[in-house]
Structure 1
């Protein structure tokens, strides 16, 4: 069962998302918030696996909310769910610790798929968002190889993580086992001195901007 918390100030949309997750097999909405004022206590009580979080929230922005969540609950994954598709918000959210970024115009079935992909090790992004990230990412592998001594395969796998692929899809792509991919990813994290997909992408973006 994938436990999901929603942080969204639009009451109608938040209610629709609750209904979507609760009627989807294998998912359950365990918390529904319209702001981040009590996010630490609410999340601490509900202990979701994934938080679907808006950026344009009252009082405290979703980007600051990601930082707060990751500081107190580093294993909880945050999926940004927003109308903002500009570089500043995208990269700030990823640097803050978000593991995925989808737009509010995303169809319901794709929202469900994004949550499932994130839960299973992917980094889901709306196609236009992924394109922006990849454009910023282009040219980075050479720098990473030089600075962090990543192998060619490790750079390819890092590209695949940025592209939102799950461990299984990466394993299928390179015709190896999931355990082999996990070993490569562990090596990537060690070389980049990071602990998560989001931190790895943020490290790359930090070099590009």
Structure 2
């Protein structure tokens, strides 16, 4: 039997924090082991709690969620950070990802999809809402010079992908979860996960962001 995923929440809005707590507490397969209303307390306590996944509000009062992740991630590389936000600005998206965030989801996301995203994050994915994924792709497409510098020699790597792998990569660029891709293609969640593993291996990348970067930066 799979072990429960340990989760901590950091959000300074009481109603939202309590709602997130309820979602995690009521769901099978997840353990809420800590909940904090500010970045300072999270910075102090998260290293001892060692949660697998942290739902981090991006705009905390005082220390921001981005700053909190920037300080925690280097010392806790296995801790996975899902940025939760009502905002969709490009600069905050990229600032959070560069600080070490592993996923980025909007607070209006349905509870079921939030739980699915936490699970995917734990399994090595990098879930993002479809709107945020489109912004990431658009940024790469609109900055060809910057992207080219990081994707030199990518053509041969892209050519090494099978048609099915390219198909899955396009779905990944839309922010779709493994489960949703599986439904679209009529294959299992586990089969999608294996394809993604091979995509990362062939492209020499470690995340969805890097894979999308190489694919669209050709």
Q: Any residues of structure 2 matched to 1:79-118 within 5 Å, and which?
A: 79-118=82-121
Pairing of 1:12-51 with structure 2 (within 5 A): 12-51=15-54
Per-residue deviation at 1:188? Answer: 2.7
| Residue 111 (structure 1) shift | 1.6
SS in 2 for 1:186: helix
Among 51, 66, 73, which residue is 1:70 paired with? 73
Q: TM-score, normalised by structure 2?
A: 0.75
* C-alpha separation in 2, matches of 1:74 and 1:174: 35
CA contact 1:9–1:33 (8 Å) conserved in 2: yes
CA offsets 1:16-71 (integer angstroms, 9 cap, x no match):
21111011000111110111113344112211111101111122111112212211
Match of 1:146 in 2: 152
Q: Following TM superposition, by how much is the alpha carbon of 1:74 offset from its aligned partner in structure 2, in angstroms? A: 1.0
Q: Report the 3-state secondary structure (helix = DSSP H, G, I; strand = E; otherwise coil) of the residue aligned with 1:75.
A: coil
TM-score (norm 1): 0.77
Q: What is the number of equivalent residue pairs in this alignment?
A: 199
Q: Give the direction of change, closer, same or farther, for the CA distance of 1:180–1:20 in structure 2 (3 Å limit).
A: closer
Q: 1:197 to 1:79 in 2, by over 3 A?
A: same
Report how far residue 198 of structure 1 moved: 6.6
Structure 2: give runs of 5+ residues left out of the alignment. Answer: none
What residue ranges of structure 1 are gaps of 5+ in the alignment? none
Output the CA distance in 1 between the equivalents of 2:110 and 2:192.
32
- What's the offset of the Cα at 1:127? 2.1
Structure 1 residue 2 and structure 2 residue 5: aligned?
Answer: yes
Root mean square deviation of aligned Cα: 3.2
Is residue 186 from structure 1 mapped to residue 201 from structure 2 by the alignment? Answer: yes
The 3 A distance-change label for structure 1 pair 84 and 181 is closer
Q: Deviations over 1:151-199 (max 9, x none)?
A: 332894665544445667778959878556424413433xx6xxx4177
Hey, what's the Cα distance between the residues in 2 that align with 1:73 and 1:199?
21
Change (3 A) 1:177 1:164: closer
Q: Does 1:133 find its partner at 2:136?
A: yes
Pair 1:53 & 2:56 matched:
yes
Structure 2 Cα separation of the partners of residues 67 and 174 of structure 1: 39
Q: Within 2, Cα distance between the matches of 1:165 and 1:62?
A: 24
